[in-house]
Amino acid sequence: MSLSKRVEDARRAFAKRDLQAALEAHTLERIARSMRREHTEEHGAASHAYIGDMVYGGLDGIVTTFAVVSGVAGAQLGVHVILILGLANLFADGFSMATGAYLSARAEREYYQRELARERWEVEHMPEAERAELYELYRQQGYPEEDARRLVEIKTRDPERWIKAMMVEELGLLPDERRPFYSALATFGAFVLAGAVPLLIYLIGLLVTVPEEMRFPVAAGLSGVALFSLGAAKVLVTHLSPLRSGLEMLLVGGLAAGVAYAVGVLLRGLGV
């Protein structure tokens, strides 16, 4: 059993306030077994770090593209305008989001490595000052004096454990397992794939005859299903109720599309 499976069992037990199930998820045997297995699955666990990029990239993609489709449909500017603006938005915004994800992940990674190097240098060159600093950090967290000293003694026995303790306790930093390029790729791919959903019926209309009055309602229906599905998929990151997350995302996307459609109608009425 992996650590994530055990944690999921614990979460379900908490949601139901099932004490017996929670105790079963926290037996020493299950904890030890899950920790050993998790240690051998670090690469697979790291790949889960990109789920957030994919979910949020997909949500942004479908919301922004459907807003473009709604605005153009409200202004009644024609299918060719929907496709031009929709596809331009899809790839330009997708590239922009991917670039932002890459730069953000890279900046966080570089910042962590810079602070890690600093802590390593300080532990090597002024260990007593670092011990005193770690002791004060534990005292500020409410540990009694003797417990704080014992924690410092335990943490500082191994230099790497000591450095990691300083990173967490002093700076509140944890290593980010994501690679900037893969983070950008996951964001871009999810943005384009999900963002293409509102355009599907218009693209199909280039190959087969689709009644014009049916195109926007079909696009809205497909977008609604995709929004709810992606919103529900947020539970992979937030671990909240899938129904609630799906409905919230459907509401947000619907409001964005409604605003865009209203603006399109207003501009059409002004003769634009």
pLDDT confidence of 90, banded at 50, 70, 90? very high
Summarised one tens digit per residue, pLDDT across range 134-160 is 888 888 888 898 999 999 999 888 888
Question: Is residue 93 very low, low, confident or very high in pLDDT (cuts 50, 70, 90)?
Answer: very high
- Which CB contacts under 8 angstroms, 24+ apart, belong to 36-41? 37/1, 37/2, 37/3, 38/2, 38/3, 38/4, 41/2
pTM score of the predicted model: 0.73
For residue 184, the model assigns a pLDDT of: 92
SS3 content of the chain, % helix, strand, coil (to 5): 85, 0, 15
Q: Note the pLDDT of residue 269.
A: 64
Each domain of the chain, given as residue ranges in start order, spans 1-40, 41-269
pLDDT beyond 90 at 96: yes
pLDDT of residue 232: 83
pLDDT at 7: 66
Q: What is the pLDDT of residues 14-65, one digit of tens each?
A: 777 878 877 777 776 766 666 555 544 444 444 566 777 888 888 889 889 9
Nearest to 246 by CA among 227, 267, 270: 227
Query: How many angstroms separate the CA atoms of 5 and 17, rounded?
Result: 18
Token pair listed for 41: 């699955």
**Mean per-residue pLDDT over the chain, rounded:** 83
Q: What is the pLDDT of residue 198?
A: 92
Q: Is 2 exposed, middle or buried (0-12, 13-18, 19+ CB in 10 A)?
A: middle
Mean pLDDT throughout 252-272?
A: 80
Q: Which residues contact 23 (CB under 8 A, 6 or more apart)?
A: none
**CA distance linking residue 10 with residue 34, whole number of Å:** 13
Note the pLDDT of residue 43: 45
Q: Give the span between the Cα atoms of 101 and 184, in whole angstroms.
A: 5
- What pLDDT does 94 receive? 92
184-243 pLDDT per residue, tens: 999 999 999 999 999 999 998 888 888 888 888 999 999 999 888 888 877 766 667 788
φ and ψ of 98, to 5 deg: -65, -40
- How far apart CA 180 and CA 103 sit, in angstroms, is 7
- DSSP class per residue in 97-162: HHHHHHHHHHHHHHHHHHHHHHHHHHHHH-HHHHHHHHHHHHHHTT--HHHHHHHHHHHTTSHHHH
